[in-house]
Chains A and B, each alone.
Chain A
Amino acid sequence: MAPLFESHGVRVIALSKDTLAQARKHKETDRLPFLLLSDPDLGVIRSFGLLHEKALQFKTTTIFGVPLGVPWGKKTMAIPTTLLVDEAGVVRWIDQADDYRLRGDEARVREAVVAAFGSA
């Protein structure tokens, strides 16, 4: 998705309950090219009304060389949500996940970026 964001001048920033150390590790392992914000006390997540209490957490464990996502306890975390914000600081699009098992849909993000900022 990086070319789309670049051509539209969109900066990607992500926030989670992870501590700074966890966020740094995540950034390194997944080679994320964008800023990760850390909200370990859930202050921002709470203020946005996005708390998911006691959500099932998964951990990647490799068994016989196959990486598996294994259920691993419960934690309070953010409801996965994407906001597109324009130059004036106005929200142009909000997308909320309805099933934590599924990842965001690239096509929907592309559509939203083009709808908000034109096809550049």
Chain B
Amino acid sequence: MPPSRDRLPLVALPLALTGFLLVNAAWLHYLATIPREKVPRRPTAHLLAMMLGAAIAIGALALGASSGSLWPALAPTVLAALLAAFFVYLLQMAPLPDGAITAAVGQRLPLIEARGDDGAIHRSTDWQGGRVLFKFYRGSW
């Protein structure tokens, strides 16, 4: 027996929560890859799960609204949509700028002068005579 029309608002909330939970599960799974340095180059599965979760929540909201009760599903739907949108924003931020690097292969390393974790000032000119792998990194979180 199909649910009667006045039962629909009761379905809307659990459905919206399901969508919300799906978005959150995909987010948490993605965030857990970061400290493990296992971030996927193209997180398609995460993105699809979030889109699906947001779609389910929006569908639930529409269902609730059509049966005269908008409110129960509103909060989880808005949150699910915002979280999914934030993920899209995050991915769009991912590409790094090229910068205008002043060093070039085949040329001398431009001077580097900075204080080291040993407290001393280090100059790249002091490293001559040895091979060096020099890394610019983003820094502590």
Where the two chains meet, the residues of A that have a C-beta atom closer than 8 Å to any C-beta of B are 5, 8-18, 20, 22-27, 35-39, 43-45, 47-52, 55-60, 63, 66-72, 75, 77-94, 96-103, 109, 113, 117
Q: List 17 interface pairs A-B (beta carbons < 8 Å), by A numbering.
A: A11-B132, A12-B133, A13-B135, A15-B136, A16-B136, A23-B140, A37-B112, A55-B138, A68-B28, A78-B136, A78-B139, A80-B96, A84-B132, A85-B124, A85-B132, A91-B104, A101-B39
- Residues of chain A within 8 A (CB-CB) of B28 are 63, 66, 68
Which secondary structure characterizes the binding site on chain B? Answer: loop
Whether B101 pairs with A87 at a CB distance below 8 angstroms is: no
With A89-B125, A98-B96 already in contact, the answer to whether A82 and B134 are too (CB < 8 A) is: yes
Give the docked Cα–Cα distance between A16 and B78 (Å): 38
Whether B133 pairs with A13 at a CB distance below 8 angstroms is: yes
Which of A48, A55, A88 is the one whose CB lies under 8 Å from B103? A48
- Residues of chain A within 8 A (CB-CB) of B102 are 47-49
**Contact residues of B between 1 and 33, Cβ < 8 Å to A:** 28, 31-32
In angstroms, how far is the closest chain A Cβ from the Cβ of B19? 21
In angstroms, how far is the closest chain A Cβ from the Cβ of B106? 7
In the complex, the chain A residue whose C-beta lies closest to that of B31 is A68
Whether A80 pairs with B138 at a CB distance below 8 angstroms is: yes
In angstroms, how far is the closest chain B Cβ from the Cβ of A51? 7
**Contact residues of B between 24 and 49, Cβ < 8 Å to A:** 28, 31-32, 34-37, 39, 41
Number of B residues with CB within 8 Å of any CB on chain A: 55
- Residues of chain A within 8 A (CB-CB) of B113 are 44
In the complex, the chain A residue whose C-beta lies closest to that of B97 is A52
Which of A18, A63, A81, A85 is the one whose CB lies under 8 Å from B140? A18
Whether A96 pairs with B141 at a CB distance below 8 angstroms is: no
In angstroms, how far is the closest chain A Cβ from the Cβ of B138? 5
- Residues of chain A within 8 A (CB-CB) of B128 are 87-89
Whether A100 pairs with B97 at a CB distance below 8 angstroms is: no
Whether A50 pairs with B136 at a CB distance below 8 angstroms is: yes
With A18-B139, A48-B110 already in contact, the answer to whether A9 and B130 are too (CB < 8 A) is: yes
With A15-B135, A98-B96, A102-B41 already in contact, the answer to whether A91 and B116 are too (CB < 8 A) is: no
Whether B131 pairs with A37 at a CB distance below 8 angstroms is: no
Which of A5, A78, A85, A93 is the one whose CB lies under 8 Å from B127? A85
With A58-B141, A89-B109, A109-B133 already in contact, the answer to whether A96 and B103 are too (CB < 8 A) is: no
Which of A56, A87, A100 is the one whose CB lies under 8 Å from B131? A87
